Chains A and B, each alone.
Chain A
């Protein structure tokens, strides 16, 4: 996992609420046995007519060349539905390092954190402020300080992340490294279960 510290970027607003993992990556694209290459099918059925790359839906935001950035800002309850980690892989592969929303589904949040995609949960009011910004505005996310800032106005909110996960993301560690380091504790624990 790549370390993640500060991100300053323009953002892509997706105001829909309850964006489920079937929209993020439809099941028919889950047949790969590797983690790579899912970005091209991110939001597949919102991007193209008839599942055809030659027929892009011009009004979908990812198809508007003037919208760019490594931060996705989405309506509340982002990532609900299936546990497919492919949703996090496809966002990362497409180029998103941060997803901002006023509410995240649990499994998606874990999957994102496990892949170095930072879910930033903001208040609904702050989310609406971001949605109201002009295209081209930038946001700054400081993981160390746990803040997100609208650069144009300086408006800022703090976001929650536990200290353990924060350390993991800042250093690029993952949970498996940690679990392997406590293996003797696990073996001892197993004896208490029997």
Chain B
């Protein structure tokens, strides 16, 4: 029988199905971080249990770490204690930790792929909703809660209801100045912040096939922003090329063997999806959000919708509330509007390719004097690559502040925050009220659009700034 990629991997990891209940799914790789793991460790200890398969869990510190002076003790007490708790727990339970100061430390969804831990055909979970990122390699990867982290600790398994499967095809060639972040913001603006709830999404089509692994990760990363449990892309030569010679990727004969297995990971030609959508790549332009969920996005040259243009009463109310929070007016244009902050980073857009895009826009230019620009490499390895390529010089010459690896100002948890009432063009994934700090106003966009705003100080169509 024909199967989707999702079904092939799910069935391979199905330990058993509970009648009129969820499936028991075996987990190949479990990532943990300091914020959503401590209660799972204490839970397992309270039950008098050991970690069942400690070698299948990898830890890093990313959410609640400072991005300057990482060699010094963390100033804020609760943060210091939380990060220390991770160190203690990993030591006690013999879990590999790439903590602060380790050359592999970084955002969990950046380090997994770059170290070759993330591999096609795997089941991967982490107590973080952006775990969907790892689906770019053709794996089933999704975010879980702390009780589920404890399940994986206890049994290397998790109870899950099998989701429905949706395929989103993006066909054709992208316009100049349009990158993968624009593709995903466009898709979410079309199907809404809840349009894929209950589904696992497979991205396909010629425009997706043409993307690099970094670009694919950006797309899969934001699957959760339309409610999808995860997103995935069938592995291909681009995937294998990226994987080869990564630190933890299989080597020699084991590589050849795995490669044969990975080449079978695709949706069969006549596989049936519960829902299928096709988008023309040519329709997509640089995107920016104006509201307080990632579905409220427009192309850079469009106007914010008018209240009258929205048919549904609930959505009308949402729009009014969102615009009030954002300090925007219905029907207005965003282009030319001043911004006070630019944040380039997060698990969505902090990989070397993202930073190269930024450099391509700002090279030889200076940032606008009214803008505070933070650029935060996703990992220590990305930071090292940045220096190796000389991009750090381009950034510092432009007046950007280069920070150390971490989630930084994406989530308003660590020291990096956007001041109340100020606007921030951000390459991150969420524009919720207060997401980047209480009262902060986030406009989500691509690294190119963020870089353009850093230079001009206002919301800019990057295609008008560089050729």
Footprint of B on A, CB under 8 Å?
16-18, 20, 22-23, 26-28, 30-35, 45, 51, 75-77, 80-85, 88, 103, 105-107, 110-111, 114-115, 162-165, 174-176, 178-180, 182-183, 185-186, 189-190, 193
Contacts and interface: CB of A to CB of B under 8 A. Distances in A.
Q: A-B pairs with the 3 shortest C-beta distances?
A: A164-B21, A33-B38, A27-B413
B196 to A, nearest CB: 10
A22 B15 contact: no
B441 interface: no
A105 B227 contact: yes
A25 to B, nearest CB: 11
Contacts of A26: 412, 434, 438
Interface centre among B22, B43, B63, by most chain A C-beta atoms within 10 angstroms, is B22
A114 B154 CA distance: 15
Interface string B442-454: 0000000000000
A185 B78 CA distance: 41
A34 B42 contact: yes
9 contacts: A18-B318, A31-B64, A33-B81, A35-B39, A83-B129, A164-B21, A176-B154, A180-B155, A182-B24
B145 A175 contact: no
Interface string B1-26: 00000000000100110111110101
Nearest to A181: B155
Contact of A18 (B24, B144, B145, B193): B193
A80 B193 contact: yes
Nearest to B430: A81
Contacts of A186: 15, 24, 26, 52, 155-157
A190 B49 contact: no
A71 B127 CA distance: 27
A33 B227 contact: no
Given A105-B227, A179-B151, A179-B155, A77 B193 contact: yes
Nearest to A183: B155
Contacts of B145: 83-85, 88, 107, 110-111, 114
Nearest to B230: A106
Given A183-B52, A186-B15, 8 more contacts: A16-B318, A80-B193, A81-B430, A82-B411, A164-B18, A175-B151, A176-B43, A189-B26
A81 B193 CA distance: 9
Identify the interface centre among A111, A183, A186: most chain B CB within 10 Å of its CB.
Answer: A186
B229 interface: yes
Contact of A105 (B39, B146, B194, B318): B194
Interface residues of B, number: 68
B433 A18 contact: no
B148 A179 contact: no
Contacts of B314: 17, 75-76
B26 A33 contact: no
A159 to B, nearest CB: 15
B432 interface: yes
Contacts of A83: 36, 127-129, 131, 143-145
B49 A180 contact: yes
A80 B293 contact: yes
Contacts of A81: 129, 224, 430, 432
B263 to A, nearest CB: 19
Contact of A33 (B39, B198, B321): B39
A91 to B, nearest CB: 13
Contact of A28 (B154, B155, B413): B413
Contacts of A85: 36, 39, 127, 145-147
A82 to B, nearest CB: 5
Contacts of B227: 77, 80, 105-106
B367 interface: no
Contacts of B92: none
A170 to B, nearest CB: 14
Nearest to A163: B20
A176 B150 contact: yes
Contacts of B81: 31, 33
B108 to A, nearest CB: 12
Contact of A77 (B128, B194, B321): B194
A164 B411 contact: no
Contacts of B159: 175, 178-179
